[in-house]
Every structure is written in C-alpha cells, then in structure tokens.
Chains A and B, each alone.
Chain A
Amino acid sequence: MKRALAGAAAAALLCAAGGGLWALEAEDRAAFARSLGVGALAALCALALGLGYAFVVARHRFLGRGLLAALAVGPLATPPYVAAIAWVDALGPAGWLPRLCGLSDPRGPSLLAGGLVYSVPSCGLLLGCCLFPLVGLAAAAALLRVPRGALEAARLARGPLGEHAVLWAAAAPAAGAAALVVFSLALVEFAVPQLLRVGVLAESVYLALAADDRPGLALLRSLPLLSATTLALGGALLCWRRPPLNAGEPAPRRPLGRRHAAAAALGCLLALAPGLLNPATSLGLRLWIDPAGGAGGPARAAHVLASAWEAGSADAARSVTAGALTASCGLLLGVAVAWPLRRLRGPQRLLLAAASLLPFALPAPLAGLSTLALLNHEWTAPLYDGLGALVFALGLRFAPLAVLAAWLALHRVPLEQEEAARLCGRHPARAILPQIAPALLAAWLGVYLLAVTEYGASALAAPPGQSVLSVFLVNEAHYGQGAELSGLCALLLGVVLLPLPAVGAGVAWLRWRRRA
C-alpha cells in the first residue's frame, strides 16, 4: 500500500514536471537542464567528499582530528555565494591565482576563467564543496552509532572486509539522504549560478517575479523544480527511514600512523579549502594587502572594515534582528508542534517529516512571493512595511526545519522518561527539555545561520529601503571584486558568528551550574 502510494506520488510529480517542461520555452528547458546538472554534480561532489571526511574523522584517531571535525562547520557557516565571490576572486579573469601562476592572459580572460570558473561543473563543484559537511556530518553520526559488538562480530565472521561492509551499510543511508538534500538545495539555489553566470531555472523564476512581474510564469517555471526537489526529498526520507543499527557501546576510533594521519589531515583540509576560501582570502589577502601597492597590514584592514561597517551596518543590524526573530519564533513553534507529535507513528510521522523538509523544495523566490501575497493587505500593513514580512518569509522557509530538529531531538528521549516524571508528579518538560537543550540550541543556530544568509526570499520580502546584508552583498558582487566586497564578506561572517560567544557563555554557565 505504502509503495503503491509512493509510486503514485512519484508518477504524479514526474507528470507535473513533464507538463511544466512542455509548457516552457526552449530557453527555460535548457536552464532546467543546467539546474539538474548543477544539482547532480553538487550531490556527487558532496557525497565523495563527505564520505571520505566522515570515515577519517569518525573512525580514526590522530592529532588534530577534533580541530578538523570542528572546521567542517566553517563551510556550512559560509554562505555559498560568499564562497563563489572568493572563487571568482581567486580564479576569475583578474584572479590572484592565475596571476600568481602566470596563467592570466593580459589580452583577455584567463585560461582558467573561460573553461572552468564560469561553468556548470564549476557551479556544482562549488556548491558541493560548500555543502559537503551535511553529508559528512550525517555519515559521521551514523558511523559513530555503529556499536563495537557489530564490528567485532563482522570481523570474526568475514575479516576486515566484513567490518567495512558493516560500516558502509551504516553510513550509506545517512550519506545518501544528505546527498539528496544537497541535490535539492543546489537545484533551487540561484545566487551562486548568478554570480558564476550560469543561467539556471531558479534564476528564471526570480526574474519572472522581480523583472517581468509575472507570477503565473514564475509558478510555471517553478513546477519542474518543485517536482524534482520533492522527488529527491522523498528519496532522502526513504533513505533516512532505514532503521539504524542497534545501540550499544560505540566502536572505538582506530589510531593512525604519522604518515597516514598527515595524509588524512591534508585530504580533509583540501576538501574544506573551497568552503573556507573566502574567509581566508577576505581576511588574509584582500584586507591586508593593497593590490595597488599602497600601505597594507592592520591599518588597511581596519580601514576596509570600517568602510564596510559604514556601508552595511544598518543592513547587518536588520539581518541579525530578522535572523534572531526567525530562529526564536521557529524554535518555539518547533517545540510546541513537536511535543504532541512525538507520539506519532507510521504514515503520520512520515507526513510530518515530509512537511518539514518540503520548504527545501520550494524555490526561495516563491516563498518571497507567497509572503507578499499573504501580507499585502491593509490590516497587515505594519508587518508588510517593516521586518515582519521578512521574518514571515524566512519563517516560511526555515521554521519547519526547527520543527524537524525539535522533533528529532525529542524522538531520541524515550517516552518512558516522560512517564517516569509524570508518575513522580512532575511536569515532563522539566525532565525532558534539559536533555534536548543542546539540540535546540544547535537548531536555533542553524535557523539563524540560514536566515541571515538567505538571499532568494529576502530579495523580494525585505521592504524597500530596508535591505539586509545578504541582499546588499550579492548586489554589490555584481559590480566586481574589491576590498570593499571582502569587507562586506567579513561583516557577514561576523554576523553569522555573532551568537557563538553568547551561546558558548551560556553552555559554560550551564556546565558550571550543573557541576555546582
């Protein structure tokens, strides 16, 4: 029955995609093909890097492993369009890398620029490199759950190959699900393709809304995207639903010799490099070195940052406010919804998970358009004219993620613990919430990060004259590279990292309180 329903849904989605494509013009069909190419390449790249990364950090022990594991947050915290700015800055026609290597042609674009930088593979590769920690973290979490006994039994039965078979069996569903999520994200992403001059269908959707003011055409163009992402997310859910291995004492990490450790560390750093390129070049090169040969160093860095602050501080403040509001409201909603829903089983649980993941399938401009359509009334004018519309649009996109995170966190706590609290006459929340507080905090940070770096919906939903930093930054990027842009990138990274000290202090306080 379930399979028949899934088959029928898949067939319906394929028909919708086919119908949408048939109704589109040839140019849009070509754009959709490019979108698919970008998504597939991003997923493959993320899968390859993520699995390797997961096996290194989750299964081996060597000096610096913890640091490498923590660095994976870097590419996730860096918005892909910021990485794309660094990519062009490094490899573009006036890029510093071709110049450094003597590959740039003074009469025209560099050799690299023509074939590599502004292309579908480049776009897929960049998105894959930025999003691979999703696959890496999912696979690493699955590998860490493999109990010692399962590995030892496999070793006794089939030798090292048996051990690897068990590990792959544990990692593959999680990695596959995460790769499909990466595919969906890359498919609807358009800031990066726009910067790398790859015309994708998501950008056509945005143009139909922003430039042509034709919502009908935007919806029609969205249809193939929606179908493809929904199919991919359905696949992700099917992978994700595979039961994990039995719990037990986790398998210990294996020590690595010096050479192998050095090779593993180098491999991880190479994998992380594209995602961390912008922080490195923005802060290390552009701010410190004046290409015109002027005074460099801290004075120049301070000057550039001050200019960026002057230009973007108001936008940054709005970004922080909108991000914090979205994350807080989303999390409250998440806990309120997830608490009663945690007892769900079977198809209802699957439906909730699907509804939570579906916003990823929605091209961002459509979220912006829906917000405008919903709030463009007289009685919602205060929301429409202020940050309310932006928070609403961001909430529409990311609040389900908070629901999903809260639900997953609650799902890990056995219901019997709640029942034990009830039998003792205490409110279950008092026994359960402290246990899931770290997961809720991580969810808050995740939603905040996504909200402050979001571009597609913000570009439409931010009220005129009250732009946010992400929109300001992407718009500035169209005018070329320079120290100012690097300063704005540094400012955005600062905005992204802003809550971390507060969160760190909070965690330290909680630990101190627990010890006390």
Chain B
Amino acid sequence: MSAGAVSIANLTVKLGPLPALLDVHLEVPPGGRLAVVGPSGAGKTTLLRAIAGLVVPRAGSIRISGREATRAREVLLPPEHRRVGLVFQSLALWPHMTVERTLAFAGAGDGARELAARVGLDKRLRSTPDQLSGGEQQRLALARALAPDPEVLLLDEPFAHLDAPLRAELAEWLLELLAERGTTLLVATHQREVAFALARDLVVLDHGAVRDAGPLDALTLAPRSATTVRQLGLGTVLEGRFEDPGLRTPFGLLSLEGEGKARCAVVRPEQVRLVAPDEGASARVLACELARPDAREARFALVVEREGTRLRALSTQPRERGELLGVQIVGPCRRVSPS
C-alpha cells in the first residue's frame, strides 16, 4: 500500500457506556479525499481521533500507509510517528506562541516563514492567536497541521466558524495544496457545502455506525439511507406502507425505484408539483423562503404539511403561510433505509 492510504477494519470505540464507533469499515486510497458526515454525536470526531492515534479502540484495526497503526486496545504507532496532521474543531492553538513560533515548533523549522506565506500569514508572523481574526486562526491551524508534511490530513469541522466567501476561498487554497503534495484528506463535517467542496468520497455516520459510503456523486444521485438524504439535504424522507404498485404515504401513492424492503422513500423537491387543492393531496404551507438566490428565475423553498407529515417543495412564486395547495409527486422515488 502506498503512502497516505488509510484502511480501517471493524473499528469499535467506546467512550462511556455507549459505543462512539461501532464496527466501522473504511478505505481511503492515497491522495483520496473523503468526507465523513453525520449529525452531532455521530462519531465523526472520534473516528478522526482514532486515526490520529489519540483514542484507543475496543476492537478493530487501523492501517496508515500500509503500516498497522492501531489494533484492539493497543496503539502500535504513536501519534507523532503516523505522519498525520489534525486540525481540531476548537483549533487548539497554543496561545503563548506567535505564528512563526507555532509553525517552527510544529516542525516547519526554517520553512516557517514560507509556510506562513503560503497561508497568507506572512504579515502576522509576530502575532499570537488572540491577535488573529477567525479566518487567520483557521489558516494557522491548517498550516500547523501541514507543517510536519503529513501524509494524511484530518480536518474536524474545519470551517465551522467561517462565513461562506472565506470558506470557499480556504477550500480552494486547501485543494490546491493537497493536489500539490498528494496528501490524503479526511474531513469530518456536518456542513454539506464543505463535503461537496472538499471531498470526492463520502461516508455517512450515525450513532457510530456507517450508514452509507461511496463516491459523493453516486451517493447524491442514489442515496441508500435516510441519514444520507438528511445530511446532504437531498429531499424529504417519507415513510409509508406497501401497496401495489408502490408506497402509500399521506401525499399519495409513490412509485419506487431501488432494491430492498425499506418502507421509506426520498422525495426530491423537484419531484413535487404544486397544483390546485382539489387536483392533488391537499397540504398547508408551513414556511416559504427564497431559495437559489443565484438562479435567474426566483425559486422559493416551501415546507408543506399534510396529516402531520412535512414535505419540501419548490415554487416559482411566493406562498402565504397557511395557504392550501394541492401536491402531486411525479416520477419514481428512491427507496432508502430508515436510519
């Protein structure tokens, strides 16, 4: 296996009475870019910490660059020898060190100034973290993680506190740098924009277990789990009962695609047609807000409700809260597992 590959098998980590990770399998090729998404408490941070060697698992193994780094109840390769860089969610910058000192201390040595210039901090070399803005602190944390020239870079909610333009700018810079160095990237996030911006592959975690995994574009087109749908904001998951030839839901009979026996299906907003109340399943508008401000034509995102079930839809005109609409779902809906 070449440098930067991460391979995880049967990984189970317990933090307290409940498992934080349960039987996780994962393969990231060298130079791969994987996003780990999931709701809060899904185990994303624990997974990154286990890869970094900061958490000892109850079972399973982790191989990094072909070397066995961790196995059950044993850290074989200490964190400092794994050639792994980690950007903590809290950044964990050393408050008493300047930018230059931080990078030198982290292993950049004489290249500290050059690295600082690469992240745009060459004019803040003498500043301590409290004198830096949020974006600068984030860049310093990234530069610190990159200073020892890691083979694997782990990012834990890397852009949690940044605004959208800064996020896009940093993501662009990071991708350039990773491509140049051939570094493998694992990013844990609950922001789908970050996953789409940085990753090629995706793993969806929920309650410590992998719910979905695969290439990002494939999972976007054909999600297999309701968690994936919710995390990527692909549509609404409707639950119903089987009734030939589809799934009976409060919004009518849905035709299904995909294999399995799950009684859930994803309805994408584009599949929802709004008609007069008597033409389709009548539903009341709960919320309406402008969506896609970048589109030429104004589109409004609606949430409609019928019999206590909510559905997301798109409209070309604004709707009043409480307004009664008819809803028709067109086209086959993809079957997904409920969790």
Contacts and interface: CB of A to CB of B under 8 A. Distances in A.
Contacts of B92: 414, 416-417, 419-420
Interface string B136-149: 00000000110110
Contacts of B97: 431
Contacts of B82: 423
Contact of A425 (B52, B80, B93, B96): B80
Contacts of A416: 88, 90, 92
Contact of A417 (B54, B94, B148): B94
B67 to A, nearest CB: 16
Interface in A342-363: none
B84 interface: yes
Contact of B107 (A414, A425, A430, A431): A425
User: What is the interface residue range for chain B against chain A?
Assistant: 20 to 34
Interface string B74-92: 0000111110111010101
Q: Which of B79, B92, B96 has the most CB of A within 10 A?
A: B92
B128 to A, nearest CB: 9
A420 B93 CA distance: 8
Secondary structure dominating the interface of A: helix
Contact of A424 (B93, B95, B105): B105
A423 B64 CA distance: 14
Nearest to A418: B92
B86 A431 contact: no
B106 interface: yes
Contacts of B84: 423
Nearest to B128: A514
Nearest to B82: A423
A422 B107 CA distance: 11
Contact of A419 (B79, B95, B107, B147): B79
Given A425-B148, A426-B105, A431 B90 contact: no
Contacts of B52: 419, 423
Contacts of A431: 94, 97, 105
B79 A435 contact: no
A422 B85 CA distance: 10
Contacts of B90: 414, 416
A434 B86 CA distance: 22
Contacts of A424: 80, 105-107, 144, 147-148
A96 B334 CA distance: 95
Interface string A435-456: 1000000000000000000000
A423 B94 contact: no
Q: Which of A417, A423, A424, A425 has the most CB of B within 10 A?
A: A423
Nearest to B106: A424
Nearest to A515: B126
A97 B106 CA distance: 65
B214 to A, nearest CB: 29
A169 B93 CA distance: 31
Contact of A435 (B88, B95, B106): B95
Contact of A422 (B79, B144, B145, B147): B79
Contacts of A426: 80, 105-107
Give 8 closest A-B pairs by Cβ, nearest first.
A416-B92, A424-B106, A425-B80, A416-B88, A417-B92, A422-B79, A420-B92, A423-B79
20 contacts: A414-B92, A416-B88, A417-B93, A421-B105, A422-B54, A423-B148, A424-B106, A425-B80, A425-B81, A425-B107, A425-B148, A426-B105, A426-B107, A430-B105, A431-B94, A431-B105, A435-B94, A435-B95, A435-B96, A514-B96
